Amino acid sequence: MAASEESSSLFLIFILTIMAIPIVPYTVLRLCRAFSKKTKSIHCQCNVCSRSGKYRKSIFKRISNFSTYSNLTLVLLWVIMGILVYYIKHISQEIQPFEPFSILGLEPGASDPEIKKAYRRLSILYHPDKNPDPEAHKYFVDFISKAYQALTDPISRENFEKYGHPDGRQGLQMGIALPQFLLNFDGASGGVLLLGIVGVCILLPLLIAVIYLSRSSKYTGNYVMHQTLSTYYYFMKPSLAPSKVMDVFIKAAEYMEMPVRRSDDEPLQKLFVAVRSELNLDLKNIKTEQAKFWKQHPSLVKMELLIQAHLTRESTMLSSSLLNDYRRMLELAPRLLEELVKIAVMPRSPHGHGWLRPAIGVVELSQCIIQAVPLSARKATGGNPEGIAPFLQLPHFSESIVKKVARKKVKTFQELRDMTIEDRVELLTQVAGLSDIETRDVENVLEMIPSITVDITCETEGEEGLQEGDVVTMYAWVTLRRGNGLIGALPHAPYYPFHKEENFWLLLADPVSNDVWISQKVSFMDEAAAIAGASKAIQETKESLGATVKEISAAVREAVEKVKNGSRLVMGKFQAPSEGNYNLTCFCLSDAWIGCDRKTNMKLKILKRSRAGTRGHVAEEGPTADDGIEEEEEEEEEEYDDYESEYSEDEDDEKDKKGKLANGVASKEEESSPEGSGSDDE
- How far is residue 60 from each of residues 74, 123, 270, 393, 498, measured CA to CA in Å? 20, 63, 34, 28, 16
Lowest mean pLDDT, pick from 1-5, 212-216, 354-358, 489-493? 1-5
pLDDT at 508: 94
Q: Choose among 452, 412, 387, 450: nearest CA to 588.
A: 452
Mean per-residue pLDDT for 238-248? 88
pLDDT at 235: 94
Which residue did the predictor score with more confidence, 6 or 552? 552
Evaluate if residue 613 carries a pLDDT over 80.
Answer: no
pLDDT at 447: 92
Q: Does the pTM exceed 0.85?
A: no
pLDDT at 660: 35
- Spell out where 189-335 has E strands: none
User: How many whole angstroms separate alpha carbon 376 and alpha carbon 374?
Assistant: 5
Question: What's the pLDDT tens digit per position in 259-283?
Answer: 988 888 899 999 998 998 888 887 7
Evaluate if residue 98 carries a pLDDT over 90.
Answer: no
The phi and psi torsions of 504 (rounded to 5 degrees) equal -130, 145
- How far is residue 115 from each of residues 122, 281, 480, measured CA to CA in Å? 11, 105, 92
- How far is residue 107 from each of residues 100, 115, 593, measured CA to CA in Å? 10, 10, 85
pLDDT at 51: 78
Residue ranges of the alpha helices (H) in 37-105? 47-52, 59-66, 69-94, 100-104
pLDDT at 326: 94
Lowest mean pLDDT, pick from 42-46, 163-167, 612-616? 612-616
pLDDT at 334: 94
Q: Above pLDDT 90, what percent of the chain?
A: 37
Mean per-residue pLDDT for 456-475? 85
Q: Above pLDDT 70, what percent of the chain?
A: 77
Contact of 4 with 11, CB cutoff 8 Å: no
User: How many whole angstroms separate alpha carbon 140 and alpha carbon 146?
Assistant: 9
pLDDT at 316: 87
Question: What's the pLDDT tens digit per position in 633-645?
Answer: 333 333 333 323 3
Q: Tell me how many degrees the CA angle 206-207-212 measures, rounded to the nearest 5.
A: 100
pLDDT at 143: 79
pLDDT at 670: 45
pLDDT at 53: 67
User: What count of Cα atoms within 13 Å lies in the side-chain half-sphere of residue 10?
Assistant: 13
pLDDT at 628: 34
Residue ranges of the alpha helices (H) in 285-319? 286-294, 298-311
Mean per-residue pLDDT for 74-87? 87
pLDDT at 611: 53
The phi and psi torsions of 657 (rounded to 5 degrees) equal -90, 130
Q: Choose among 320, 302, 362, 334: nearest CA to 519.
A: 362
Question: What's the pLDDT tens digit per position in 129-156?
Answer: 778 888 888 888 877 887 777 777 777 7
Evaluate if residue 239 carries a pLDDT over 70.
Answer: yes
Spell out the long-range contacts of 629-635 with Cβ–Cβ below 8 A and sequence spacing 24 or more. 629/468, 629/469, 633/609
- Spell out where 233-316 has E strands: none
Evaluate if residue 359 carries a pLDDT over 80.
Answer: yes
Mean per-residue pLDDT for 413-435? 91
Mean pLDDT of the chain: 79
User: What count of Cα atoms within 13 Å lies in the side-chain half-sphere of residue 24?
Assistant: 8
Q: How confident is the model at residue 545 (pLDDT cuts 50, 70, 90)?
A: confident
Question: What's the pLDDT tens digit per position in 194-204?
Answer: 676 667 778 88
Which residue did the predictor score with more confidence, 219 or 353? 353
- How far is residue 584 from each of residues 376, 444, 515, 581, measured CA to CA in Å? 29, 35, 10, 9
Question: What's the pLDDT tens digit per position in 401-412?
Answer: 998 988 888 888
Q: How confident is the model at residue 96 (pLDDT cuts 50, 70, 90)?
A: low
According to the per-residue pLDDT averaged within each range, which of 212-226, 565-579, 611-625 is highest? 565-579
